[in-house]
Amino acid sequence: MKPGSVGRRAGADPDADAPRGEGGELHQQAGGERPQLTTNMGVVIADNQNSLTSTPRGPTLLEDFILREKITHFDHERIPERIVHARGSAAHGFFELTKSLKKYTRARILTEVGERTPVFTRISTVAGGSGSVDTPRDVRGFAVKFYTKEGNWDLVGNNIPVFFIQDAMKFPDIVHAVKMEPDRGYPQASAAHDTFWDFISLTPESMHKIMWAMSDRAIPRSLRFIEGFGIHSFRLVNEEGKSTFVKFHWRPKLGVQSTLWDEAMKLQAADNDFHRRDLFESIQAGNFPEWELGVQLFTEEEADAFPFDHLDPTKIIPESLVPLQMVGRMVLDRWPDNFFAETEQVAYCPANVVPGIDFSNDPLLQGRLFSYLDTQLIRLGGPNFHQIPINQPKCPFANHQRDGHMQMQVHKGRVNYEPSSLQDDSPRADMKAGYRSFAEQPDDGVKGRVRPESFADHYSQARMFFRSLEAPEQAHVASALVFELSKVETPKVRERMVGHLINIDQSLAQRVADGLGLDALPPAQKAAMAPIDMPAAPEVRIIGRMRETLKGRAVGILIDEGSDAAALKALVKAAQSAGATVKIVAPKLGGAVLSDGKKQPADGQLQGTPSVVFDAVAVLLSEAAGKKLAKDSAAVDFVAFAWAHLKAIAHDAGAAPLLKAGNVGKDAGIVDAGDTQAYIKAASTRQWAREPKVRNLA
């Protein structure tokens, strides 16, 4: 693939038609003269879209003082909360290699089969603050710290395999845009506002990520049911110094699961800590979450044949081009002893790699290598944050770095430099065992602020993603776009965004335009490169790939005075045998006396334990209780929302008045409580055929 330039500006230019002088400067506008963009030292910036690279395809140069100033200032904007990924939950566990990659790498964690390496994994939302809720529509960070024998390796990614931007120069801008608007301080943990969509509608490279973010991937059912991706291409380097590109994937053993949008919104009211509580309770119960580690391996020559540039972080490599190989597993089996000391103080950095793992020239990755370390310096108080127990390597470490804020080691001896001859036990570099960067032969090119022309296709993979989804998932994407853009006050932003959707899929654009009440489709946005039709990528779907099982899921059973004891016992046994967690819900927390005269304790009180927290429900009521609860709004909501959220409902005759009050209809998911086998089958999946009966989608 021949690198080149698509021009010095990336994305749409809101001032493209404004009158300019011979040097390109903006002339006087109706609203007054627009100020020039400068550094903090007053130096006018010519290009705020691209980092300085040695060639069009990288690597990024440390001399880029504009990039360093911009990201440094951005990294230091919040104290002490993380700027992004502030809301997170984490757990300890281990990684076990099941297939050696010795042919490709010298990294021992990827060559020693059966070896168990301690890990600490943190999963987080991106946009909200630390006090926000668990379940908004958002990307989830997926960061794993491996405490290997050769030092710490941090694999820092997301649950979505692509990013919004191609160059780290734009990272402060995308985060500023999605965060609370600076003049009003809201919305919190939401992208549904003008500044975000203004930025996105002017940034065509974001279109693929937007398709993922508006899909059900952004509203997961649980942290245990999400995939993880390293996003960037990395390099594996073997003992001979030969390099192979790699992309990392985490696949949950329980399969991928999402919520519905209405369900996610109601979960915010039902339990702000829903995902954190779910992870905690699963670990405490011994139902340890597990993921498989998969890799896509490919050579430089294979990459050159792709119809896209693998260094572009807004692109995936479809598995039809490079199959996924499973090489290991990760199990999370221990909750942190102290949330602040571990979950809050853990510091991840993509630059933390071990010998045998190296970086590609992905321009977003290149910026992240600088940004994360710089962020930790301010957030954790100085250069010694690696000495905090959760960040310390579990292998020996020694160097000549000394003193600094919060120094916790007592260094002995007179030598703190190299070379030296005064102290025999002074640490020395080791040419054989030490980390060696891959000796890359750079592309021919001219230093400058440019995007390679191989990064110019912004719509083909967005189209591939949308057209690869099942029909209900496509409807969810369209409806999510209508919801988000309906919150945007500025008409031109809404119309500009629909203009991008035309380039992705005409039917999607029309559905969104109809949902927004536009009289006609706006003009399509000009594409730097005409989109192409790519083969479907089934791996991006959830429906059709999710596992039809109750293992790892939750069933809620509503009871009251006089409920059938035998039916309850049979349902509990069947659900637990299928791997589900069962919780009993009753109008009173103390529970209820069943038909056998025995008191059944409750795990949750009805008003505080709605059906949205379960994957399937059952209702076992006496005739009297059924009539009584049919007049109770919390009970009516319990069954009405289970029906609306496409969940299976088992019921007995006494529950009939309540189901009628909740407008619960009939389909394969509404099952007689006596038929436990039929219920387990129905409860193992959502009833997608029901959705057109319960909501109007775009």
What are the φ/ψ torsions at residue 425 (nearest 5 degrees)?
-95, 15
Taking CA atoms, 627 is separated from 17, 560, 621, 644, in Å, by: 68, 11, 9, 22
Burial 529-567 (b: 16+ CB within 10 A, else e): eebeebeebebbbbbeebbebbebbbbbbbbbbbbbbeb
DSSP type of residue 379 = H
Token readout for 519 is 């009289």
> Which residues are annotated as catalytic?
85, 158
Half-sphere exposure of 240 (CA within 13 A, CB side): 6
Q: Which helix (H) or strand (E) holds 263?
A: helix 261-270
Please answer whether residues 527 and 501 qualify as being in contact, where contact means their C-beta atoms are separated by less than 8 angstroms.
no
Can you name the residues that pair with 325 across neighbouring β-strands? 295
DSSP type of residue 611 = G
Can you name the residues that pair with 73 across neighbouring β-strands? none
Token readout for 396 is 């020996």
Alpha helix stretches (DSSP H) within 311-362: none
Taking CA atoms, 350 is separated from 265, 327, 371, 373, in Å, by: 33, 21, 9, 9
Tell me how far the alpha carbon of residue 590 is from its chain's centroid: 39
User: Alpha-carbon distance 416 to 400, whole Å?
Assistant: 5
Please answer whether residues 618 and 558 qualify as being in contact, where contact means their C-beta atoms are separated by less than 8 angstroms.
yes
Q: What is the dihedral of CA 519, 520, 525, 529, to 10 degrees?
A: 150
User: Alpha-carbon distance 305 to 296, whole Å?
Assistant: 15
